[in-house]
Structure 1
């Protein structure tokens, strides 16, 4: 069993010395997260220079209301949380102050970017790049109807060349400025430590990295009409969401089609071409179809119970003559289970389901088929979403995304000589941050010698559509993939949206999809169940106090 961080250990002797420039009298919380992440990795902050300048961040309050006022990332942090000595300096003193130290890089956190008037360290000056200033970017994205926000950490070298060191694409929360802001800044706060780790390990810069530019804060303010429009947009979206949550429920199902996977990838196979599962038990749905290797027509899936809000694993069967038949629970725990990922090793079928809420990745063996029995944990201390294990180029690989914020965005890779471990983290973890193509969506497959990896595009909402990526580089120190195509939403059939699993088994392709239905009876029964549980708990408390 492997326990530990998804990032590799570093030699303390290679720690980088750096200085920080800021124009904020009191640092926002996400700035302190940047510094704490660097310090936790062993980097040394030799000076934090507070440069006397008007801070654009102080202009957040304005007419009508401040849309980002509830953002935790933008809230004032405890000044004592900053690592390293703090100095108040004038703009003209920056060069002299920095010259006093032997620096690896300068982290420039000033919101209003200034010309570089000091000697650039060996690894450059690092600055964040957002579409608009952090306090405005979420509001702008919501008003413009954007589904994602891109952030980047840009390095300026001594010769003036600019290059992106780390970048990420984060999903917009459709009815919340604060949650969107926190999601983006929480992810971006780790960019400097990721870049510093790459420098210390002497990893080449990603080939896809690029300078995304920077919008001047002076041109990105929100006036009265924009704020009024934003307020109306947020209220209408929240009301619509509240109404949907009150009267409807989402139901998923799994479908199969006998067709080449290329036909599904190019869109010639639509939702009404699939044979959809009729369902199992009342108040449940099924999703995440994973075919049993060597078991014709046997498919494992998640069965989610709307009453308990937990998932368990089932096995069902499909044949071209009889369609879908049978359903048996094969694994159930006290925590949520899903994505029963199956693979073969030395002639034995193993299952690595999603058990992220148990903070571990576990292997189950096929005992008394089709039932599964837990064998052991192979990775602990991680909340892995849809862990996908496969053999490629002489190693076993495990891909997953984190179950916590920013959800479905950061892709982590581990590798080992056997599925039992020990597992080692990829040197670049997380290897990419992209809500549109990170989270696994089924087993990778090979076509024309190319390794194709299904992934989820969760930009619009969870389970919106899929993307198939070609993995062009995969080693313990490198990873790169390019998009081949996107699949869905299907737009037709009984489950027209939400494909987020793609499984290929011989001539068949398995997918899943979803639909929303009015479920007032389910809502009422679930509410009654909660009230009964609450009443029973209070009665037990009263009885215990009486004794």
Structure 2
């Protein structure tokens, strides 16, 4: 059992601080919160967050919620490691780990970048030196600083716990001294107020106006019969023309997965009815002339479903959809294809996994997914599981999380073989959720290592009506994508 002191401002303890301590204690360490005289979060930032939550009616169990009457301890001389969560940037007795927000120890710098509509990268540094771990977290909301900070802090929490446990477990860390540079950025109260009023508020007003005029969060499914030249082969959307799976305006379709069976062609989709609050799974048949049937519902649960990954294995047809809100990864079996599906088994219990994507490789089965980890976005933390058979047991990879990266973590479709390469479509949330898709090559995969290349963006024709691609899938003859497709309230889609 290792002794860890978590250094926090004595007068400003937040839920984030408690969770770091709780998670490390859960790994078997002797953990104490140690109060210091650091000032804590800037009062101006706190006031801005309180104002925003009241003005926008944000209901959020925040990592920044204050903890009344926390149990604090004195510093312990025998501590094997200190985790500095004061945000002060002051020197701390070695060894010590601390988070950085775009190079600054201050959370206010992360807030300033969010106010400008930018996403800060994060790091963990050892003894004030260069980073020993870095990440690029996703913020699902670009118009709320309160929500954005929670998403950023969620991955700081993840990274700190991983690196602290790794350090105490004897993992090698680069303790190089910090480079001589300008002092880390800490915005003043005036800068924060000015940035919020001149940048954030106008963007919030513009966002509200767009929401009044458009149904923004909706998608279009497009498909085509390819002639062996798929998007994954060329990196381009060019080629045979794309057809649109029509909807009635009261719902939209997303996450298309094509599947061919007995010479027939099917597209499985998420169906989301406006105002419905959750997605269900549906299927449409596509005929050789390109004409589709109207999608019909095939699976509904009390929680949201999407990403209906359908595949054949062991002489049966299976579906492994996304149901992260249900807290389990559930495998379904086709009782009567394509309309009747039964719950077969829970592959990974008690985890919030999203867009789990199956791969058979070197005699084992692998799952690539993102995990929410209790807080934060569902789109930035890649985890991998492996098993000897479909029913399991499924084992988390020892390298988890493989990466924390808003541009290269969340799968956006099945693996596809391109010659000798294995290619995974991955979502890029740099600009917004669903804003782009890239293709990453899997270059190493075994029970100790997972290596993917950096994604190469898919290029769309300059005049493509829906250039923001979200998922990509193909079968032997059919190829599908879905794209952001805002629609004017009243029924007219926006072009471009």
Give the structure-1-normalised TM-score: 0.76
Could you tell me which residue of structure 1 aligns to residue 222 of structure 2?
255
**The residue matched to 2:193 in structure 1 has which SS?**
helix
Map 1:369-518 onto structure 2 (within 5 A).
369-374=337-342, 375-402=344-371, 405-487=376-458, 492-494=463-465, 496-518=466-488
User: What CA distance in whole angstroms lies between the structure 2 residues aligned with 1:335 and 1:191?
Assistant: 29
1:136 shift after superposition: 1.7
**Structure 2 unaligned regions, length at least 5:** 54-61
Q: Which among 67, 72, 85 is matched to residue 77 of structure 1?
A: 67
Could you tell me which residue of structure 1 aligns to residue 19 of structure 2?
33
User: What CA distance in whole angstroms lies between the structure 2 residues aligned with 1:392 and 1:104?
Assistant: 41
> Contact 1:343/1:349 (CA < 8 Å) preserved in 2?
yes
Query: Residue by residue, what CA displacement relative to the aligned partner does 1:364-409 show, whole Å, maximum 9, x if unpaired?
Result: 2222221231223323222322122221222111222236622312
Could you tell me which residue of structure 1 aligns to residue 266 of structure 2?
298
**The residue matched to 1:228 in structure 2 has which SS?**
helix
User: What CA distance in whole angstroms lies between the structure 2 residues aligned with 1:334 and 1:170?
Assistant: 27
Map 1:149-298 onto structure 2 (within 5 A).
149-156=120-127, 162-165=130-133, 167-171=135-139, 173-199=141-167, 219-222=185-188, 224=190, 227-250=193-216, 251-257=218-224, 258=226, 263=231, 268-270=236-238, 274-281=241-248, 283-294=250-261, 296-298=264-266
Query: Residue by residue, what CA displacement relative to the aligned partner does 1:429-449 show, whole Å, maximum 9, x if unpaired?
Result: 333222222111111123343
User: What CA distance in whole angstroms lies between the structure 1 residues aligned with 2:447 and 2:291?
Assistant: 43
> Contact 1:67/1:139 (CA < 8 Å) preserved in 2?
no
Could you tell me which residue of structure 2 aligns to residue 6 of structure 1?
none
User: What CA distance in whole angstroms lies between the structure 2 residues aligned with 1:237 and 1:304?
Assistant: 27
Residues 17/58 of structure 1: CA separation in 2 closer, same or farther (3 Å cut): closer
User: What CA distance in whole angstroms lies between the structure 2 residues aligned with 1:373 and 1:212?
Assistant: 57
1:274 shift after superposition: 4.0
1:292 shift after superposition: 1.4
Query: Residue by residue, what CA displacement relative to the aligned partner does 1:331-367 show, whole Å, maximum 9, x if unpaired?
Result: 2334322111022221222111122222222222222
User: What CA distance in whole angstroms lies between the structure 1 residues aligned with 2:308 and 2:41?
Assistant: 50
Q: How well do the aligned residues superpose, as a CA RMSD in angstroms?
A: 3.5
User: What CA distance in whole angstroms lies between the structure 2 residues aligned with 1:214 and 1:355?
Assistant: 48
User: What CA distance in whole angstroms lies between the structure 2 residues aligned with 1:384 and 1:432?
Assistant: 15
User: What CA distance in whole angstroms lies between the structure 2 residues aligned with 1:259 and 1:213?
Assistant: 54
Residues 221/322 of structure 1: CA separation in 2 closer, same or farther (3 Å cut): closer
Could you tell me which residue of structure 2 aligns to residue 9 of structure 1?
none
Could you tell me which residue of structure 2 aligns to residue 525 of structure 1?
none
> Contact 1:253/1:276 (CA < 8 Å) preserved in 2?
no
Query: Residue by residue, what CA displacement relative to the aligned partner does 1:129-155 show, whole Å, maximum 9, x if unpaired?
Result: 211444323442135442x22111122
Residues 215/399 of structure 1: CA separation in 2 closer, same or farther (3 Å cut): farther
User: What CA distance in whole angstroms lies between the structure 1 residues aligned with 2:191 and 2:36?
Assistant: 33
> Contact 2:129/2:177 (CA < 8 Å) preserved in 1?
no
Could you tell me which residue of structure 2 aligns to residue 536 of structure 1?
none
**Structure 1 unaligned regions, length at least 5:** 1-14, 88-96, 523-547
Residues 434/58 of structure 1: CA separation in 2 closer, same or farther (3 Å cut): closer
Write 1 or 2 for the structure with the bigger share of helix: 1
Higher alpha-carbon Rg: 1
Between 1:21-30 and 1:231-240, the stretch displaced more is: 21-30
Residues 492/16 of structure 1: CA separation in 2 closer, same or farther (3 Å cut): farther
Give the structure-2-normalised TM-score: 0.83
User: What CA distance in whole angstroms lies between the structure 1 residues aligned with 2:351 and 2:161?
Assistant: 19
Residues 219/199 of structure 1: CA separation in 2 closer, same or farther (3 Å cut): closer
Query: Residue by residue, what CA displacement relative to the aligned partner does 1:482-518 show, whole Å, maximum 9, x if unpaired?
Result: 2140125766444x14421111223543211131112
Query: Residue by residue, what CA displacement relative to the aligned partner does 1:187-217 show, whole Å, maximum 9, x if unpaired?
Result: 21232321244356666779xx999989977
**Residue 135 (str. 1) matches residue 107 (str. 2):** yes
Residues 334/142 of structure 1: CA separation in 2 closer, same or farther (3 Å cut): closer
**The residue matched to 1:170 in structure 2 has which SS?**
coil
Could you tell me which residue of structure 2 aligns to residue 86 of structure 1?
74
1:181 shift after superposition: 1.3
1:466 shift after superposition: 0.9
Query: Residue by residue, what CA displacement relative to the aligned partner does 1:117-140 show, whole Å, maximum 9, x if unpaired?
Result: x5x4xxx43121211444323442
Aligned length: 476
User: What CA distance in whole angstroms lies between the structure 2 residues aligned with 1:334 and 1:234?
Assistant: 36
Query: Residue by residue, what CA displacement relative to the aligned partner does 1:438-469 show, whole Å, maximum 9, x if unpaired?
Result: 11111112334332211111232221111222
> Contact 1:314/1:328 (CA < 8 Å) preserved in 2?
yes
Could you tell me which residue of structure 1 aligns to residue 284 of structure 2?
316
1:267 shift after superposition: 5.2
> Contact 1:397/1:413 (CA < 8 Å) preserved in 2?
yes
User: What CA distance in whole angstroms lies between the structure 2 residues aligned with 1:166 and 1:79?
Assistant: 33
Map 1:101-112 onto structure 2 (within 5 A).
101=78, 103-112=79-88
